[in-house]
Amino acid sequence: MSENTKSATKARLYDAFAASGKALASGKRLELLDLLAQGERTVDALAKAAGLNLTTASAHLQTLKQAGFVSTRRDGVRIHYRLAGDDVAQLFALLRKVADRHQAAVPAARDAYLGQDTTGEMSREELRARVAAGDIVVLDVRPAEEYLAGHIPGALSIPVQELAERINELPEDTEIVVYCRGEYCVLAYDAVRLLTDRGRRAIRLNDGMLEWRLSELPVDAAELT
């Protein structure tokens, strides 16, 4: 193989790598990956959750599909999307971590979105130990369909928008550990603020369901009780 041929084939290889990067070069596409990391969803559900119209959501999903990041299945007239593999979830999680460490704009944007955190947090390892000891309540504040798709074993489900009305379903004398989609999910922050304002002892899991799954910890998928 000549040097010119080697150079051309190398360029094609790196262009192929770059195509994946281009597919990730949209905040809304990353948000769609975040949602799909919680479980399979229809285009309609993804559009609603991401605040997009159907046309725009479909275009973003097609870009992700062309890059090989998502796959589909058809159920009648409905098309369901899911991540193409756990490696896509790992890439998404790593991208966020790297950006947080090296992109100067991220920390300020993160803090503006999540708000001031004056409460404690708990690691996955400590959570598992406390669950085994039976001295905490684990609360999942994601939407119900995400809980059904997979949740931490033993976790209760109260979506954050229902928490104020359903707070009496939680014991008053037990510490509550709240989690949601992942490390950068605002739902857990909002839930802890609400619970502490109502006099409950509440802290966050320091990440969420995305990281729990990627750590290959047990996951339950069951009907709401």
- The tens digit of pLDDT for each residue in 212-225 reads 999 999 999 875 44
Tell me, what amino acid is at 149?
A: A
Position 225 scores a pLDDT of 45
Query: How far apart, in whole angstroms, are the C-alpha atoms of residue 106 and residue 184?
Result: 11
Position 29 scores a pLDDT of 98
Query: Considering 177, 180, 188, 202, which one is annotated as catalytic?
Result: 180
Cβ 205 vs Cβ 179: under 8 Å? yes
Residues in a beta bridge with 75: 78
What residues of the chain score a pLDDT lower than 50?
A: 224-225
Query: How far apart, in whole angstroms, are the C-alpha atoms of residue 66 and residue 159?
Result: 33
Query: In this structure, what token pair is assigned to residue 49?
Result: 């959750």
Query: In this structure, what token pair is assigned to residue 188?
Result: 């857990």
The dihedrals phi and psi of 173, each to the nearest 5 degrees, come to -110, 15
- Find the Cα–Cα–Cα–Cα dihedral 116, 120, 124, 125, rounded to 10°: 150
Position 223 scores a pLDDT of 54
- Class of residue 57 by CB neighbours under 10 A (exposed 0-12, middle 13-18, buried 19+): buried
**Full-model pTM:** 0.91
Establish whether 185 is a catalytic residue.
no
Neighbours of 97 (CB within 10 A): 13
At which residue do the structure tokens 């510490």 appear?
A: 175
Query: In this structure, what token pair is assigned to residue 163?
Result: 């928490």
